């Protein structure tokens, strides 16, 4: 079979401004009798709403604040949390040395990430708002409890205690995730009358 002859001129595909279907070799839409236009001249539709996201780290539909907050909380778990005397420890080290309830903070952050992983449409994310809010508050509670326990121990041993930026990073991260949960999934679509 002989090879197909190569075209010397590019194929121009024009689009209907109403149905947005593309046609090759035509100047009018066969269904709407409208003049076809190039793709860059199609009218923009301002009322088109984003229905879902495909990329996990997509910040649209209210996901950005929650993702940022959870990322900060996980980072805060790994950086210095407290300094007493000459010892500086991260939340990870404090959790491994006996403050087992501190493990609830990264577990809450990972649970929020799993909600964002599984829920990609606006309606599914709106349905998960309460869970994200509860998990974000649940991530702060072990920080407060462990902080109080460490403070009481340092006071009983008369040791100078200094909270490092890991604690503030985790609290700010969970607070951002809790606030961002109110916008998760974007606004509820209005029913068309």
Reported as a single tens digit per residue, the pLDDT across 65-92 is 999 999 999 999 999 999 988 889 999 9
Residue 137 has pLDDT above 90, yes or no: yes
State the total domains in the chain: 2
pLDDT at 107 over 90: yes
- 111 neighbors 151 (Cβ within 8 angstroms): no
In a domain, 191, yes or no: no
CB 23 within 8 A of CB 13: yes
Higher local confidence (pLDDT), 189 or 85: 85
Residue 54 falls inside a structural domain? no
Mean pLDDT value of segment 140-151: 93
Residues 37, 73, single domain; the answer is: no
Same domain, yes or no: 28 and 69: no
- Assign 146 a pLDDT band (cuts: 50, 70, 90): very high
In a domain, 113, yes or no: yes
Note whether residue 160 is domain-resident.
Answer: yes
- pLDDT > 70 fraction of the chain, expressed in percent and rounded: 89
Does this model's pTM top 0.85? no
The answer to whether the CB of 80 falls within 8 A of the CB of 88 is yes
Exposure string of 126-145, with b = 16+ CB inside 10 Å and e = fewer, is: bebbeebbebbebbbebbee
Is the pLDDT reported for residue 193 higher than 50?
A: no
Residue-range definition of the domain harbouring residue 21: 10-43
**Residues 93 and 135 reside in one and the same domain:** yes
My answer on whether 74 and 33 are in the same domain is: no
52 inside domain:
no
Residue 25 CA to residue 159 CA, distance in Å, equals: 83
Asked if pLDDT for residue 131 goes beyond 80, the answer is yes
Residue 58 lies in a domain: no
Residue 193 lies in a domain: no
Q: Pairing between strand 87-90 and 161-163? A: unpaired
């Amino acid at each position: 079979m002989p090879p197909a002859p190569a075209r010397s001129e590019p194929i121009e595909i024009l689009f209907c401004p109403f149905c947005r279907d593309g046609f090759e070799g035509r100047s009018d839409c066969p269904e709407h009798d409208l003049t076809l236009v190039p793709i860059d001249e199609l009218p923009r539709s301002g009322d088109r709403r984003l229905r879902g996201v495909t990329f996990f780290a997509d910040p649209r539909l209210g996901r950005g604040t929650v993702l940022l907050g959870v990322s900060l909380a996980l980072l805060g778990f790994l950086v210095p949390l407290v300094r007493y005397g000459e010892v500086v420890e991260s939340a990870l080290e404090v959790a491994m040395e006996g403050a087992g309830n501190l493990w609830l903070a990264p577990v809450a952050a990972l649970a929020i990430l799993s909600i964002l992983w599984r829920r990609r449409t606006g309606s599914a994310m709106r349905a998960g708002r309460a869970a994200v809010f509860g998990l974000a508050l649940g991530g702060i509670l072990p920080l407060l409890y462990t902080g109080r326990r460490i403070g009481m121990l340092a006071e009983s041993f008369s040791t100078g205690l200094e909270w490092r930026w890991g604690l503030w990073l985790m609290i700010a991260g969970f607070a951002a995730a809790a606030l961002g949960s109110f916008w998760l999934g974007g606004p509820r679509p209005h029913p068309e009358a």
